[in-house]
Amino acid sequence: MSRRLQFLLLTSMALALSCTSPLVLPDDEEKADTASVDPDGQGWETVEIVSEGTRSDPFSVREAQTAAPAEDVWVEGVIVGFVKGTSAPSSATFSLADKNAVNQSNLLISDTVTSDYRRCIAIRLKSGSEERSELNLYDNPSVMHERLKVHGSLTKYLSIVGIKEVEEYVVGADENKDGEEENKDGEEDKEDDGGGNHSSSDTPFRPNSIDEPISVAEVVAYVDSMHTLQRVDQAYSDEAWVAGFIVGYYNKSPQFGKTSYETNVVLADSASVTDARRVLVVKLPKGEVRAAVNLSDNPDNLYRRLTIHGRICDEYGGLPSMDNVAESATYLNGSPTFRLWD
């Protein structure tokens, strides 16, 4: 065999082998380091930063987007999904319907349940770490829509603002806030509403709407603060849009997972909540809203997400409650009076 023929034969064999070799992609984190933030050019909506970024006073997600880059901060939000590939703008995913597609290496958190990556920051779940074991949505689907407080440095990750090195984290209520101190003026610490915003009797809620409602945790913190101030008998006048999952109804106490009632529903920030200290009871007046929302006539509404407007009070056994809900299902200040999500 001539040398020329041998060379051609060896070249052909090398090409054939290369075609059958597996394709190796770079690690998500490696590619994310070089990806540009917000490639579609729409940008983040900056907000005024009023939180300190500490464990007892964490940044909201939108504050974190404004503050980035920043080192050694706490951020709190709701777990809403993950990034399937290496870029949130192209592969942010907000459903667990296809379990085999769930990426274990990261989470997306937002101030409220959303399907808009621009309202999220990404949290890296490092391989072999405790946070990956406890938080990844493939193995822990129940943490979807739970609140997450996370400590680390804000940087670029998966083409958006994120935290690549998790120092500490807290899922759900933080019952051990280390390092809480009185503020510089010697006043009491602010009441943490569970969402990076702080409630008081003067300005209890952040700006809210049907598209950007407050959480049940924020309402609970407000009512608890009113009780602490011994203002239980005060006529509440603060109204808000609130979103949560319908987890049951109230009859002398919250009845979780039950559907045989029509005058109220109980909301929580997660469909898995069975703790009476973490719920909002919504009074349903006779009319179109009750007809559409109540569980007796609509048992399939159990565990659906509801956004609704009304006045915050403590009518049901001292529990955080909502009354003054509109009877009509039409419009309030240009928005429908409630929204049920599939």
What CA–CA distance (Å, rounded) separates 331 from 279? 26
Close Cβ partners of 339 (under 8 Å, ≥ 6 residues apart): 210, 306, 307, 308
110 or 191: whose pLDDT is higher? 110
Per the structure, the count of domains in the chain is: 2
Which of 19-23, 32-36, 322-326 shows the lowest mean pLDDT across its residues? 19-23
Residue 6 lies in a domain: no
**Same-domain check for residues 238 and 118:** no
Tell me the whole-structure pTM to 2 decimals.
Answer: 0.48
Tens digits of per-residue pLDDT, 165-180? 999 999 987 766 554 4
- Whether residue 8 is predicted with pLDDT greater than 70 in this model: the reply is no
Region 66-89: mean pLDDT is 94
Q: Do 213 and 334 fall within a single domain?
A: yes
Residue after which a domain boundary falls, among 130, 152, 171: 171
More confident residue, 112 or 162: 162
Which CATH number goes with the domain that contains 62?
2.40.50
Of residues 150 and 227, more confidence is placed in 150
Percentage of the chain exceeding pLDDT 90: 57
Task: For residues 161 and 275, state if they share a domain.
Answer: no
Whole-angstrom Cα distance, residue 113 to residue 77? Answer: 9
Residue 215 lies in a domain: yes
pLDDT over 80 (residue 22): no
The token duo for 167 is 């120092």
Residue 208 and residue 132 share a domain: no
Q: Choose the weakest-confidence range: 159-168, 195-204, 240-249, 252-261.
A: 195-204
Most confident of 96-100, 111-115, 183-187, 301-305: 301-305
Q: Are residues 103 and 47 in the same domain?
A: yes
Q: Are residues 165 and 215 in the same domain?
A: no
Looking at the fold, whether 149 and 60 belong to one and the same domain comes out as yes
What is the domain range of residue 40?
29-171
Q: Which residue has the tokens 């997600």?
A: 61
pLDDT for residue 173: 72
Give domain status of residue 192, yes or no: no
- Same domain, residue pair 78 and 160: yes
pLDDT at 6 over 60: no
pLDDT of amino acid 226 = 67
pLDDT digits (tens, 9 = 90+) for 322-340: 999 999 999 988 889 999 9
In a domain, 146, yes or no: yes
Mean pLDDT of the chain: 80
Judge contact between 210 and 339, C-beta under 8 A. Answer: yes
* Residue 66 domain flag: yes
Give 211's contacts (C-beta < 8 A, 6+ positions apart).
335
Asked whether residue 130 is domain-assigned, the answer is yes
pLDDT for 315: 85
